[in-house]
Amino acid sequence: MAVIIREDFENFDSSLYTVVFGSAATINSTAAKRGSNGMYINYPSSGSQGDFIYRPFITTNSIFACRMSIRIEQALPSSSQTFFELQNSTNNKSFFMRMTTTTLDIAFFDLLSSASIQNFTFSTATWYDIDMKVDFSTTTWKADWKVNGTNQTQATRTSANTTAGFIPDRLRFGVGDSVARTKVVKIDDVWMTDNGSSYPMAYPGVFLKPISDITVGDYVPTPSSPSTLYDKLDESSATNLDADYISGTNTTEVKFG
């Protein structure tokens, strides 16, 4: 498995990317879902600008696992706008995600003809973690996806082209627009591998779930001292990062797995 991109914007290196369109994006703390920084895209009320950045990659695989976090501060007044694309060298766009006035959509393109658009109704000013498994390995392209860990309806494209020029070789994300409209979009933690078995992807960093106590070490819970420790570390889901902690001196510590 190759990691194609692992961008958390903490130490953003612009030399790895090509800016496709405009100059409305910055990397700053107001766009961070995790860590200190994210990609902040602020459209003006007049003029046409925004930012797409893209990164080419080389792989012989045709199944990809992707993850990103997005927050749309204001709904689009009209139409739709793409914010994530897997592109190819033949017709430029193989797979995309877009925002509309009320939904997040996913779909395939083949010879610039879209198929099987699936969507999720979003709320403004809300963070969403989106996982995708995008499969170009057969003539029926498939995309499985989750929003905040919940399965969504699979998108497909039948009679698709599986020749090399139609398989993605670049990733593009961000928001660019030829239509003036005031809105703010925040993007964080864009990950992608060329191995579908990594879907759904883990959150950035390592998440360990407490499973039992073991009688070695010198830790006791803070602030109280119950009979067991592991079940008091109650954030058993990675979506909650403000976990309890353990410190002090005793004969018990927590085992993670």
Give 192-205 pLDDT, tens digit per residue.
Answer: 998 888 888 765 44
pLDDT tier at 122 (50, 70, 90 boundaries)? very high
* Helix and strand totals (H; E) in the chain: 0, 18
Backbone angles phi, psi at 69, to 5 degrees: -115, 140
Question: What is the residue extent of each domain of the chain?
Answer: 3-198, 210-256
Terminal Cα-to-Cα distance of the chain (whole angstroms) = 23
CATH number of 3-198, picked from 2.60.120.200, 3.30.70.20, 2.160.10.10, 3.40.50.150: 2.60.120.200
Tokens of 98: 């877009």
Stretch 130-151: mean pLDDT:
92
Stretch 208-216: mean pLDDT:
50
pLDDT tier at 172 (50, 70, 90 boundaries)? confident
Q: Does residue 155 carry a pLDDT above 50?
A: yes
What global pTM score does this model have? 0.74
Q: Please, what is the average pLDDT of the chain?
A: 75
Ramachandran quadrant class, 190 (left: phi over 0; alpha: psi -120 to 50; beta: rest):
beta
Candidate from 16-20, 43-47, 183-187 with smallest mean pLDDT: 43-47
Peptide bond into 168 cis (omega under 30): no
Q: How are the residues of the chain apportioned to helix, strand and coil, as percentages rounded to the nearest 5?
A: 5, 45, 45
Stretch 98-118: mean pLDDT:
77
The Cα–Cα gap between 230 and 246 comes to 10
The Cα–Cα gap between 144 and 237 comes to 22
